[in-house]
Structure 1
Amino acid sequence: MKIIPLREDVSLKRSIDQGTEKQRQSVVSILQDVKERGDAALRHYTNEFDGVDLPETRVSAQEIEEAYTAVSDETLEIIREAIDNIRDFHERQVQQSWITTKEDGTMLGQKVTPLDAAGVYVPGGRAAYPSSIIMNVVPAQVAGVRRIVMTSPPQKNGKLSDIVLVTANELGVKDIFKTGGAQAVGALAYGTETIDPVDKIVGPGNIFVALAKQLVFGTVDIDMIAGPSEVAVLADRTGKPSYIAADLLSQAEHDPMSSAVLVTDNKELAEKVSEEVTKQLETLPKKDIAKASIDDYGAVYVAETMEQAVEAVNELAAEHLEVHTEDPWAILPQIRHAGAIFLGENSSEPVGDYFAGPNHVLPTNGTARFSSPLNVEDFTKKSSIISYSKEAVKNNGRKIAAFARLEDLEAHARAVEKRMEEYND
């Protein structure tokens, strides 16, 4: 890995592919086609892009039953335990409606209401991501979303992977469809003959899925536009090079554009981690992907002080931040920007990806400066409650009318004064 002295003129940020104009126009065309032709368009694009001719996109009960025969009891138990852990964490995020009463009889409050329907996009084709299903479905269920629709591109055999089907079924997802790409996003946003539209679309995807989510935003809500995965490790002299190297590579194997960065105030550790990364790369099954990531988007930055190192990771605002220092809890109050913070040498990033409980759908590309992991609140909306009393109108009506006239809104002022006239009779 490249070892770079951390100076004021060194930026840890990187630019992310936002798609070409040709890709954007392609997505616009696909979305319009789905809006106009519905299921016929879904079948057309599934045939064109996935090489599968599917007369029926809905997953059948028989397909789910068959999937269970291919999944071991041990795997099923792991999936169930992961679901329990993740559900337990998210149940602690639930917000309640509330009302407060003032002395004059005015009642004010907030009503928390779950969304009616959510769409979960699950990447598919050659890969299977059961963890993505759990992380997107559980917070929606805990929030109380009534209807959850899942879409995923089919494999060449015209089916979804066994582990994807089993995981969805263990979560109780009933509406599962074999369609992916921008066309699936369009179906979730606009609806087709077989897929009813939803209120929010969540889940990761390729550049076409990301562009489609951007374009349908406003018709529906979306979770975020996720970029390539990234990890930053903050370490002092006590960090273990083999652990840190392994954790950097755990992100690098995701994608050639994944980012893996170490920031440390110790030059000796920097050199040892760089050597260890080279060593561990040799035996990785996805060596080519990980090496491309490390070569293009990996680096070790050496700061002069830990304070400078902390400021650098705050500037980076990474999706995942691991803290390998002598006292990571002492560092925690100084961390302002990170999607998820992993404290201590035993808290490797994959622990959060699969099993611990917090959500792994996290802000990327510096957006942790202003956004949060996917959570229960993302699947709710809040309505303000206002019940103004007669006494409150008497006491405050003139002030409200005066405020309205400050903005030259006479009808606003008169609406309040109509009550005042009656109450003062």
Structure 2
Amino acid sequence: MIQTIDLRGVQPTRAAFQRLVPRPVVDVQAAVAVASDLIADVRERGVTALRDQAERFDGGAPTSLRVPQEEIDAAVAALPGTVRAALEEAIARVREATAAQVPPPAETVIRPGATIVQRWEPVERAGLYVPGGKAVYPSSVVMNAVPAQVAGVRSVALVSPPQREFGGAVHPVILGAAGLLGIDEVYAMGGAGAIGALAFGVEELALDPVQVITGPGNIYVAAAKRVVRGQAGIDSEAGTTEILVIADDTADAGYVAADLVSQAEHDEAAASLLVTDSPAFADRVVAELDRLAGATKHAERVRTALGGPQSAVVLVDDLAAAAAFSNAYGPEHLELQTADPDALLADIHNAGAIFLGPTSPVSLGDYLAGSNHVLPTGGQARFSPGLGAYSFLRPQQVVRYDREALSEVADRIVALSTAEDLPAHGEAVTQRFLTR
């Protein structure tokens, strides 16, 4: 069912491992042309284009693209008690953990009368994308909205695809989650067109453009975020989920297999990888995968994901090689299930989120750990962070020099501006010291 890649004896360099890591056969660039056309259609035809795209790609055109407040209120009231309690707990935990991501202002006194203040300024308006394809993601409402609110974003617009099961409306549990968070600007729209609507605005809907767009989605959503980048900031081109588990023979094979299956149920293109230095343990995990995959609700989807080119059991010589492989891969979710995960953590550098030990599964992070589950995929964890308050913040330097402090550096400014053949730069300084 799942392939085995034997890298024992392979020199564990980043270049070597990057050539050998399994990846899904998915190319965001291939979807860019389609996404560009859909965005252009929204810019040209506005509401009409969004309704047409809802009929073609989602659950049908909604009665109203902007969800009325009474529908949001009704969705909150209709939330099952256990679901509401779980969402409220998730909101509280994510809010608590995210608060640590907002740096306080810091003042640096270069010299007397010469100061630079580093401040972190939130964007004024953000757009949050909550997918609604093979599953419903009220947890993604929490993960998108809480960091924006903690960062201090004053205006938030949330979009989610219309659902055929609910007559072209946004899924009521997503609406309920939005209502719990106090979000009152919600639109029934999905896919690339929704990303375009957020980036450029839609006057007919009084939908103003946003400065930052966050949230996961399918390949066309990822492509659309690439297209609008520059018009609006994005968190990342978050795609199909990934889990990489580094485990040795002290781990529980059932735990590891269950965690691999848990992420494989997201999508047929989901990536599930086990990296281990124990062939015997690998065999035990494969046996557990066969058992668990057939017993879960989305068995067909799970089997397709586990059998795809993006999933594998990877055999390496030792845990140092396992860490090197993981760093080359840059997984969205990384679990360390070894005898001493803290020691191994010192060798880990590239991952969206890291889960230590047998009782910290990825599912915990998906919902209630307090960490954020909107994370970079496709190797982007090698250079990009997951979603956080910082995704909505811009560092700004506020410079204040008094006359004496400026005079101390005036001649050096003139020297440098002359060297660069930009004399007016220096003249802008010396002008301040002319006798009038």
> What range describes the TM-score normalised by the shorter chain of this pair?
over 0.9
Instruction: Give the deviation of 1:420 after TM superposition.
Output: 4.2
Per the alignment, residue 378 of structure 2 pairs with 365
Cα distance in 2, alignment partners of residues 186 and 227 from structure 1: 18
Q: Kindly tell me: are residues 26 and 316 of structure 1, through their superposed partners in 2, closer, same or farther at Cα, counting changes over 3 Å?
A: closer
Instruction: Indicate if the aligned counterparts of 2:375 and 2:386 stay in contact, CA closer than 8 A.
Output: yes
Q: Kindly tell me: are residues 273 and 53 of structure 1, through their superposed partners in 2, closer, same or farther at Cα, counting changes over 3 Å?
A: closer
The alignment status of 1:12 with 2:21, answered yes or no, reads yes
Instruction: Indicate if the aligned counterparts of 2:38 and 2:192 stay in contact, CA closer than 8 A.
Output: yes
Amino acid at match of 1:41: A
Unaligned runs of 5+ in 1: none
Q: Kindly tell me: are residues 248 and 55 of structure 1, through their superposed partners in 2, closer, same or farther at Cα, counting changes over 3 Å?
A: closer
Cα distance in 2, alignment partners of residues 408 and 197 from structure 1: 40
Per the alignment, residue 177 of structure 1 pairs with 187
Cα distance in 2, alignment partners of residues 402 and 20 from structure 1: 47
Per the alignment, residue 258 of structure 1 pairs with 270
Per the alignment, residue 4 of structure 2 pairs with 3
Secondary structure of the structure 1 residue equivalent to 2:374:
coil
Q: Kindly tell me: are residues 350 and 42 of structure 1, through their superposed partners in 2, closer, same or farther at Cα, counting changes over 3 Å?
A: same
Instruction: Give the deviation of 1:29 after TM superposition.
Output: 2.4
Instruction: Indicate if the aligned counterparts of 2:76 and 2:180 stay in contact, CA closer than 8 A.
Output: no
Q: Kindly tell me: are residues 405 and 199 of structure 1, through their superposed partners in 2, closer, same or farther at Cα, counting changes over 3 Å?
A: same
Unaligned runs of 5+ in 2: none
Q: What is the Cα-based RMSD across aligned positions, in Å?
A: 1.8
Deviating beyond 4 angstroms after TM superposition, the runs of 4 or more aligned structure 1 residues are: none
The alignment status of 1:161 with 2:171, answered yes or no, reads yes
Deviations 1:352-409 (A, max 9, x none): 0100101111111211111111110111112211112222222211111111222221
The alignment status of 1:203 with 2:212, answered yes or no, reads no
Q: Kindly tell me: are residues 334 and 51 of structure 1, through their superposed partners in 2, closer, same or farther at Cα, counting changes over 3 Å?
A: closer
Figure out how many residues of one structure are paired with residues of the other and give that number: 422
Per the alignment, residue 118 of structure 2 pairs with 110
Q: Kindly tell me: are residues 152 and 404 of structure 1, through their superposed partners in 2, closer, same or farther at Cα, counting changes over 3 Å?
A: same
Instruction: Give the deviation of 1:54 after TM superposition.
Output: 3.3
Amino acid at match of 1:405: T
Identity rate, percent: 40
Amino acid at match of 2:276: T
Cα distance in 1, alignment partners of residues 341 and 45 from structure 2: 55
Per the alignment, residue 101 of structure 1 pairs with 109
The alignment status of 1:274 with 2:286, answered yes or no, reads yes
Instruction: Indicate if the aligned counterparts of 1:2 and 1:274 stay in contact, CA closer than 8 A.
Output: no
Cα distance in 1, alignment partners of residues 71 and 227 from structure 2: 33
Q: Kindly tell me: are residues 357 and 16 of structure 1, through their superposed partners in 2, closer, same or farther at Cα, counting changes over 3 Å?
A: farther
Cα distance in 1, alignment partners of residues 134 and 339 from structure 2: 42
Instruction: Give the deviation of 1:341 after TM superposition.
Output: 0.6
Deviations 1:198-257 (A, max 9, x none): 111111112222221111111111111012211111111211100001111111111111
1:219 corresponds to which of 231, 247, 250: 231
Per the alignment, residue 294 of structure 1 pairs with 306
Cα distance in 2, alignment partners of residues 80 and 102 from structure 1: 46
Instruction: Give the deviation of 1:50 after TM superposition.
Output: 2.9
Q: Kindly tell me: are residues 386 and 19 of structure 1, through their superposed partners in 2, closer, same or farther at Cα, counting changes over 3 Å?
A: closer
- After TM superposition, the score normalised by the length of structure 2 is 0.92
Secondary structure of the structure 1 residue equivalent to 2:314:
strand
The alignment status of 1:139 with 2:147, answered yes or no, reads yes
Per the alignment, residue 38 of structure 2 pairs with 30
Per the alignment, residue 403 of structure 1 pairs with 416
Cα distance in 2, alignment partners of residues 168 and 18 from structure 1: 32
Instruction: Indicate if the aligned counterparts of 1:125 and 1:154 stay in contact, CA closer than 8 A.
Output: no
2:325 corresponds to which of 306, 312, 318: 312
The alignment status of 1:150 with 2:162, answered yes or no, reads no
Instruction: Indicate if the aligned counterparts of 2:320 and 2:347 stay in contact, CA closer than 8 A.
Output: no
Q: Kindly tell me: are residues 412 and 27 of structure 1, through their superposed partners in 2, closer, same or farther at Cα, counting changes over 3 Å?
A: same
Instruction: Give the deviation of 1:182 after TM superposition.
Output: 1.5
Secondary structure of the structure 2 residue equivalent to 1:335:
coil
Per the alignment, residue 124 of structure 1 pairs with 132
Cα distance in 2, alignment partners of residues 149 and 24 from structure 1: 24
- After TM superposition, the score normalised by the length of structure 1 is 0.94
Instruction: Give the deviation of 1:328 after TM superposition.
Output: 0.9
Instruction: Give the deviation of 1:126 after TM superposition.
Output: 5.6
Instruction: Indicate if the aligned counterparts of 2:59 and 2:162 stay in contact, CA closer than 8 A.
Output: no
